[in-house]
Amino acid sequence: MELSEVAPPGREKQVKALKKKFPGDKSAPYKIAWAQHNRKQVDESQTRYYKDDKKSIPYSEFYKKAREAKIRKQSDETRSDTKKHGVKGYDKKGSYRLVDGKKHYN
């Protein structure tokens, strides 16, 4: 059974270079080229799956949302700290907390 040895599309130069590396074996360059060609198709189909995913967003939007979440977390922490311990302030004597209109120094 004779198989026609045809290079994968766009891999003619690769087959030519592989023929120089494997002068005794005529089918090896074609097998290698087709194996890499088929592997690349699998990789592309996997990335295409992720590109078509509607949940993915551009990095700039992701970064903006992450920055907003960080700011929101900091403001929530500050709000809860102020509610528990009072408003924080500084003067000549040092740092203090205002609780019920009175300064409590640390």
- What is the predicted pLDDT for the residue at 1? 37
- What is the predicted pLDDT for the residue at 53? 56
For the CA atoms of 72, 75, 81, 82, what is the dihedral angle to 10 degrees? -140
- What is the predicted pLDDT for the residue at 91? 94
Instruction: Give the pLDDT confidence of 49-67 residue by residue, as tens digits.
Output: 555 556 678 899 999 999 9
Q: How far is CA 25 from CA 18, 28, 60, 81, in A?
A: 10, 6, 51, 76
Output the pTM of the full model: 0.40
| Spans in the chain with pLDDT lower than 50 | 1-2
Helices 12-21 + 28-52 axis angle, to 10? 140
